[in-house]
Structure 1
Amino acid sequence: MSTQSNPTDRAEVRKLATAIEEALTGEVQTRFRDQTPLPLYGPTPPVPQPGVPPMSQPATDIGRAAIYCGLATVPPGLIAIGVMLASEHANPTIIGLICAAPAALAVPILAVARLLRGAAPPPEHHHHYEGPVYQDQRHVRSSTRGVWAKTNNQQ
C-alpha cells in the first residue's frame, strides 16, 4: 500500500467534515418557503389549511352531534358519582343498578311497542267481480337458484 492518498478521497473527507461542522453548529437549513408567485388564472395547486379537514356538511353535522351527545353524558355521571361518594353508598351493586337502569327501562318499552305494532287487525279485502271468474289457489314450489334468475309462470 502506498502512503499517498488519492486527491478525491481528501475532497470527500473535507465535504464530510464540513457537513458535520454545519450539523453541530446548527447552520443547516430546516425549512424552505417557495417565493414563486402563483398564476393569476388557471388551476392553482391545493394548499393544506389549518384546522378540521374538509368534509361534507352532513358529515360535519353528524360528527358535531356525536361529540355533543358524548359530552352531554359527562355531567350526569359526575353528579351521580358525587352523590354516591357523599352518601357513602358507592357500592358495586348500586353502581350496577344505576348503569343497568337505562337498559332495564328501554327493553319493556321496546317490547310493548312491538306488541302494539303487531296487534293491528289484518286489513279486510273485499273483491267484487262481474262475470265468470277463475281462481287458482295452488301453491307451486319454485326451484329457482342462483344470483340472477328469471321466473316464467305459465300454465
Structure 2
Amino acid sequence: MTVLPEPPAATAAGQANPLTDAVLRAAVDNLVHEARRDSTSPAPGRDMPPMSARTTEITRAVMYCSLATVPPGLIAVAVLVASEHANPTVIGMICAAPAAIAVPILAIARLIRRAGEAAPTEINQYYSGPVRQETHVDERRAVWQKDVHKPRR
C-alpha cells in the first residue's frame, strides 16, 4: 500500500502560502510567455494558409466600399420618412430589385447547364475488319427488370 504524504498545514488567515504563490506565479509566467509567442508568429488557419498582403488589402477595400454604401442608404430612408412619402410597396420593390435581377440570370444559367447535359456525346469508334453494331435503348424505369432484348446470333 502506498503511503501518501501529509498535506501542508493550513495557513492562518491573511498569511501567504509559499507553495500556492509559486504555482500561481509559474502559471502567470507561462500564460505571458504563450501570449508573447502567439503574437509574434501568425498561426495558420485549420486548412488555409495565411492570407497574402495583397489579398488582405483587397479584402479590406471591399469591406470599406460596402460600408460606404450604408450612410447614403440611411440618408435616403430618413428623407423618405421625414417627407412622409415612404411607400411600403416602393420600399419592397427596391429591396426586391437584387432578387429580380438575380432570378433571370440564375434561370438562364440553369437552362444553359441543362442544354449542355442534354446534348448527346459524340462517339468516334474506329474498327478494322467486319463489325456488327446494335444499339438498344430501354426507356423502362424500374428497380428490377428483365432484359427482353436477347442478342441475335
Give TM-score, length-normalised by structure 1.
0.45
Is the radius of gyration larger for structure 1 or structure 2? 1
Indicate the structure whose relative CO is greater, using CA pairs within 8 Å and at least 6 residues apart: 2
